[in-house]
A = this chain, B = another copy of it.
């Protein structure tokens, strides 16, 4: 089966995705009978549009990694071509949206995803913004057009939070989810607890290692966790919540005294994103919590992530691990693409 796709956004994650498609072409063909055919790559400046043959991804990635722009790529480059124009002129069945996340207005991803859906394309996205801001609207458009939106890469990348909920726990009633969804905060907390390093020092160490951003507030104040939680709560719990509905508390104010006190009680502090059904309501909250040592999230340490679902008929199911790098996000998108294709193949 050939799947023609359009890639929108070609930064670190976009290029990792492009490389991965090239690297895995043989496996995709042999194991899944799948030929992913990149018909266009578009970013804010312009596009590269395939001729008869698909875009040679290895070459495009190399070109862009050496400072080239997509729009200047050999004879395929089309300076100034917009994503809307690409959606109009390039026949494809999947739109892969990998533009940077903006949590305030969601652009340019929000407009791009709307356009793709209106053109009848399935969407695979790593961009949290549009779905956090407009989950209901986008799902309604997708349903009306009979296409689907996959967003594994936006909900903890290679940690399979959504798949586990949708596929592995199908038929259960989800009572709650408790997750460590931000590797940066977890790294800092782990260092503070295991090695008695104070917050500021652990943070600066994480920054040196590239685990924390120069401005770490999005991670350490709990917003990254909150965004992922909104997607999981809406996608799995049908919660219909927005970021405003989430109570968010970060880890900045955790002191060595807190750490010591937790330790004396045999507990360990983790930044937990929690979704809890409470009669008709779904409560979503991010806060540092002192967990018993036998809580499944207590052993998730360093920059690892994890999530525990409590269900009615399958008891508690926990999943941990999964790479958090651009490669992990790219792998999550490729997985979404394979699963999308598998569902389509059942029909042929």
Q: Are B172 and A331 in contact (CB under 8 A)?
A: yes
Q: Which residues from 1 to 46 on chain A have a C-beta closer than 8 Å to any C-beta of chain B? A: 20, 24, 27-28, 32
Q: Are B317 and A160 in contact (CB under 8 A)?
A: yes
1/0 contact trace for A162-191 toward B, CB 8 Å?
A: 011001111111000000000000000000
Q: Are A160 and B164 in contact (CB under 8 A)?
A: yes
User: What are the residues of chain B within 8 A of A342 when measuring CB–CB?
Assistant: 170, 343
User: What are the residues of chain B within 8 A of A314 when measuring CB–CB?
Assistant: 158, 322-323, 328, 331-332
Chain A interface extent, by class: 35 or more
Q: Are B28 and A171 in contact (CB under 8 A)?
A: yes
A321 at interface by CB-CB < 8 Å:
yes
Identical copies in the complex: 2
Partner of A319, one of B32, B299, B317, B339: B317
A159 at interface by CB-CB < 8 Å:
yes
User: What are the residues of chain B within 8 A of A20 when measuring CB–CB?
Assistant: 313
Q: How far is the CB of A253 from chain B (nearest CB, A)?
A: 28
Give the interface centre of A314, A316, A331 by most chain B CB atoms within 10 Å.
A314
Q: Are A321 and B296 in contact (CB under 8 A)?
A: yes
User: What are the residues of chain B within 8 A of A296 when measuring CB–CB?
Assistant: 299, 320-321
State A28–B296 Cα separation when bound (angstroms): 29
Q: How far is the CB of A149 from chain B (nearest CB, A)?
A: 14
User: What are the residues of chain B within 8 A of A32 when measuring CB–CB?
Assistant: 170-171
Q: How far is the CB of A248 from chain B (nearest CB, A)?
A: 27
Q: Are A160 and B171 in contact (CB under 8 A)?
A: no
User: What are the residues of chain B within 8 A of A322 when measuring CB–CB?
Assistant: 314-317
User: What are the residues of chain B within 8 A of A338 when measuring CB–CB?
Assistant: 170-171
In the complex, what residue of chain B is closest to A162 when comparing beta carbons? B168
In the complex, what residue of chain B is closest to A299 when comparing beta carbons? B299
Q: How far is the CB of A252 from chain B (nearest CB, A)?
A: 27
In the complex, what residue of chain B is closest to A169 when comparing beta carbons? B335
Give the interface centre of A20, A24, A171, A308 by most chain B CB atoms within 10 Å.
A171
User: What are the residues of chain B within 8 A of A318 when measuring CB–CB?
Assistant: 318-321
State A20–B172 Cα separation when bound (angstroms): 10
User: What are the residues of chain B within 8 A of A320 when measuring CB–CB?
Assistant: 296, 317-320
- By a beta-carbon cutoff of 8 Å, the part of chain A in contact with chain B is 20, 24, 27-28, 32, 158-160, 163-164, 167-173, 294, 296, 299, 301, 308, 313-323, 327-328, 330-332, 334-335, 337-339, 342-344, 346-347
Q: Which 7 A-B pairs have the closest CB atoms?
A: A347-B347, A160-B168, A158-B314, A315-B323, A170-B338, A313-B331, A299-B299
Pick 21 A–B contacts, CB within 8 A, sort by A.
A27-B171, A27-B173, A32-B171, A158-B315, A160-B164, A163-B167, A164-B168, A167-B168, A167-B335, A313-B327, A313-B328, A314-B328, A315-B321, A315-B323, A317-B321, A318-B318, A318-B321, A319-B320, A346-B346, A346-B347, A347-B347
Contacts A163-B168, A168-B335 supplied; 4 other A-B pairs, CB < 8 Å? A163-B163, A164-B164, A313-B323, A314-B323
